[in-house]
Structure 1
């Protein structure tokens, strides 16, 4: 028998696992065998730049290393020099020391972790995003995590440097918002060059609201998020340009605050537009927040039926996005949790079959950062 002639037929495999077809020519007979290439995502990953190396920028890099589905090739921050980046990434008061190795080489940041791809990252220190040469390092996708450039016009400055797509790590007044597990299928690569990953709270609320609305219908609802402190708050009392009480000491107070997270759900789930609103209480904990959704339902539902619906979604099509627990948990139990929303079955209550209070936890830093990476991965799969 003559040796087989092998012909590799590589298809476009940008983050989609497709077979390599080996054509075996033996005795004038053609046999086609599909061999699935393992770890194909490691061959072709979207190249990512990060603008702003603050809380979300640094945790987005950690998420990128951990998930191993994107390649971070550049970071820009005008206020943080390379050596300081090493220190800030390596040591984190909330999430602990980075479980890997970080170093510098020829002016680059080098991030390594056993079993994961190495990220060799070009560092820029530019204030104007239009001047960042993303194309030089091949960065197609930019995570805009400064909190400053949150509109299409401002974030589009990254496109001038060669980026193809920009993902804003905050709500946006005009950029389309996508929440993984809820409406990412609406992403249009032909026109969506600047998009928003919405807020961490919207990422927690929207998957839960989707399940409840799909199964039972939501007539109206009020959301409260009990939210951990963020960098925008004051360590001690100081002036505030908006609400005066926003300037009160974060470590000393529970501070009522506004949030557009509930209204934003109406943008990602159009059927709920105008049906939800909410507020926040900022509390003196460093991380992990919790959403309380109080809703009036169209269809009568027992609490057990609601729990069953959420559990089914958490174990099915929303696995990895929505979680479910019946344990007697507290906030620190979710530190480092990569899911967007973890439903607390034991904390939920019902007044009657049409009026319920539902509770869901979220790591407002790391969980959200994981969704940034997932959204880019999704966008790349549509390129």
Structure 2
């Protein structure tokens, strides 16, 4: 089976790295949608080198690696990477015009971050995710959350959001055409929430909030620049080199699509960008109802829940070591690395005035024991925590299409 990748940005290139290493697909067809440099050799050079992860050969085979990109054919747009045939398409940027059918591609991973609306018509002049289907793809996997521009529209029945290892079973190959793999932050957050939710149950979650201290992305500027006309988020135009930049995350909206129990739990998600190239951190704060003041939830229990869950999970890591962000760069298949040494809990009580709630029978005040738990988790927002999990999701979908 052939795989199509639309886009050769951060996630597109690293997805290509992942799949030429894995060798699950017989051929990979990559659409860049434009001419690059002076020709195919410049595309190959960009694929081969990465400022965050080094050379492709080192990634594949270590320090003794030789040349891994060979057999370049400018006329056909083809090359061989680690023995895997790769074809580069440079003509169409609109998904509807990409030659997926002509190249025998049934499954496409769209990594551009541009086409995220599952309700947009495939023949939209500006391009749409469904355009891949019009161009011949049977399934389209989006490496970003869905974003419906028309707030009056609901999620289409043939679209689903999944995180591998959390709710990948929600994908129904006979029903779903468009699949979102959520975001790197939602992926990490899911593996922070799910173990505790399974242990305590949703009824004991009173509220939750998170902040992601996130490495820079392509939406930040290298140097200060003037905002575009109509821009409202002026911070996006400030230099990431020397600023901590407040921004937003869609994790609060995406999380209930992956873990439905979170729909009934008050949840706030915030994000800041920092001047690092990859490696991010989520600080999760939970307010949990205790069964009694005599037996509150303790740090030891929280860590043991994560430790036990990690033993049976491909994607969750638990550690008692003290990490910094570079320690987790490239860590394979670690959607989240729980920093157990930084888990904290504090228990108190909330006094509820029942009379204000209209309850005038019995005691007027109810004292509820509550524990606030703070959990830290690292994630390599590009390769280790996201692209590798995305690669598993890609292969899983492909296996269900055969």
Q: Give me the TM-score of the superposition, normalised by structure 2.
A: 0.79
Aligned match of 1:363: 380
| Larger deviation, residues 344-353 vs 160-169 | 344-353
| Larger deviation, residues 322-331 vs 74-83 | 74-83
Equivalent runs, 1:195-344 vs 2, <5 Å? 195-217=179-201, 218-240=205-227, 241-275=231-265, 276-299=267-290, 300-316=296-312, 318-319=313-314, 321-338=315-332, 339-344=334-339
Equivalent runs, 1:1-383 vs 2, <5 Å? 46-81=1-36, 82-99=40-57, 101-106=68-73, 107-113=76-82, 118-125=83-90, 126-152=92-118, 153=120, 154-173=128-147, 174=155, 175-217=159-201, 218-240=205-227, 241-275=231-265, 276-299=267-290, 300-316=296-312, 318-319=313-314, 321-338=315-332, 339-352=334-347, 354-366=371-383, 367-383=385-401
Aligned match of 1:23: none
Q: Does the CA contact (< 8 Å) of 2:115 and 2:129 recur in 1?
A: yes
- Deviation string, structure 1 residues 227-268 (Cα, Å, up to 9, x no partner): 000111111112342311121110110111111113311111
Q: Does the CA contact (< 8 Å) of 1:216 and 1:301 recur in 2?
A: no
Q: Using a 3 Å threshold, how does the CA distance of structure 1 residues 160 and 306 change in structure 2: closer, same or farther? A: same
| Larger deviation, residues 179-188 vs 77-86 | 77-86
SS of alignment partner, residue 112 of structure 2: coil
SS of alignment partner, residue 355 of structure 1: strand
Pairwise CA RMSD: 1.7
1:136 and 1:200 mapped to 2: Cα distance?
32
Residue ranges of structure 2 left out of the alignment (5+ in a row): 61-67, 121-127, 148-154, 291-295, 348-369
Q: Give me the TM-score of the superposition, normalised by structure 1.
A: 0.83
2:167 and 2:96 mapped to 1: Cα distance?
30
SS of alignment partner, residue 109 of structure 2: strand
Q: Does the CA contact (< 8 Å) of 1:61 and 1:72 recur in 2?
A: no
1:97 and 1:111 mapped to 2: Cα distance?
16
Q: Using a 3 Å threshold, how does the CA distance of structure 1 residues 331 and 111 change in structure 2: closer, same or farther? A: farther
Q: Does the CA contact (< 8 Å) of 1:260 and 1:277 recur in 2?
A: no
SS of alignment partner, residue 222 of structure 1: strand
- Deviation string, structure 1 residues 286-311 (Cα, Å, up to 9, x no partner): 10101111011234421111111111
In the TM superposition, residue 341 of structure 1 has moved relative to its aligned partner by: 0.9
Q: Does the CA contact (< 8 Å) of 1:263 and 1:273 recur in 2?
A: no
SS of alignment partner, residue 142 of structure 1: strand
- Deviation string, structure 1 residues 47-67 (Cα, Å, up to 9, x no partner): 210101111100011111233
Q: Does the CA contact (< 8 Å) of 2:72 and 2:80 recur in 1?
A: no
Q: Does the CA contact (< 8 Å) of 1:182 and 1:268 recur in 2?
A: yes
Number of equivalences: 332
SS of alignment partner, residue 276 of structure 2: coil
Q: Using a 3 Å threshold, how does the CA distance of structure 1 residues 208 and 141 change in structure 2: closer, same or farther? A: same
Residue ranges of structure 1 left out of the alignment (5+ in a row): 1-45
| Larger deviation, residues 146-155 vs 64-73 | 64-73
Q: Does the CA contact (< 8 Å) of 1:228 and 1:284 recur in 2?
A: yes
2:321 and 2:248 mapped to 1: Cα distance?
30
SS of alignment partner, residue 198 of structure 2: helix
In the TM superposition, residue 279 of structure 1 has moved relative to its aligned partner by: 0.5
Aligned match of 1:14: none
Q: Does the CA contact (< 8 Å) of 2:252 and 2:269 recur in 1?
A: yes
